[in-house]
Amino acid sequence: MDSVSTYSTASLAWLSTQALPLIIWPSLISTLLRADGPTRYAATDPSLEQYFARSLGLAQLALGLLLLVLSGALPLNAIADTPSTTDSPPPYANAAVLVTALHHAATAFYTYARYFSTGQIAYVFGCLGSSALAVAGLWVLLFAGEGGRRVSRRTGADKATSGWPFKNAEAEKKRR
């Protein structure tokens, strides 16, 4: 399993962990995260809260499943009986990882801010999980992808590297 598939699976697991309680028991989650406890429950419409909680849970599941499909972790070519000719990642893998990494980063920032405004420990766990996935998504975007691509047969160096921001002075001496 490559790093993009690992990130996609971990992201789906984290989003599912958040989504399933929202879908199954939305009133428990809203009561637990309420700043002033369940005393204010009568002032809000419980059916509206349940609608928004379940909609959020379904949206999180959809985001995780879309990431799994667009990153290539699910072999859709095997379903369509068309063999894959290349081992390259799908064209939308980087875009899907970018969108979900930004989602995890925004969620981490939000839960961090909510923890310091309310002091509830549940937000710390949310911040830690989302931060870990945001960092993993950034790592996948920067360093994962096509493994040994374009290696020079003569020197063994990677041709995709450049001299920016540092010049290779030793290589320049050998060229002269």
Average pLDDT (23-48) is: 68
| pTM reported for the whole predicted model | 0.72
pLDDT digits (tens, 9 = 90+) for 11-28: 999 999 999 988 998 877
Q: What is the Cα–Cα distance from 103 to 101, expressed in whole angstroms?
A: 5
Cβ neighbours for 105, distance < 8 A, ≥ 6 positions apart? 130, 131, 134, 137
Alpha helices in the chain (DSSP H): 3-24, 26-32, 46-70, 76-79, 93-118, 122-143, 169-175
Q: Give the pLDDT score at 137.
A: 93
pLDDT digits (tens, 9 = 90+) for 144-164: 765 545 666 777 666 666 666
Q: What is the Cα–Cα distance from 30 to 38, expressed in whole angstroms?
A: 9
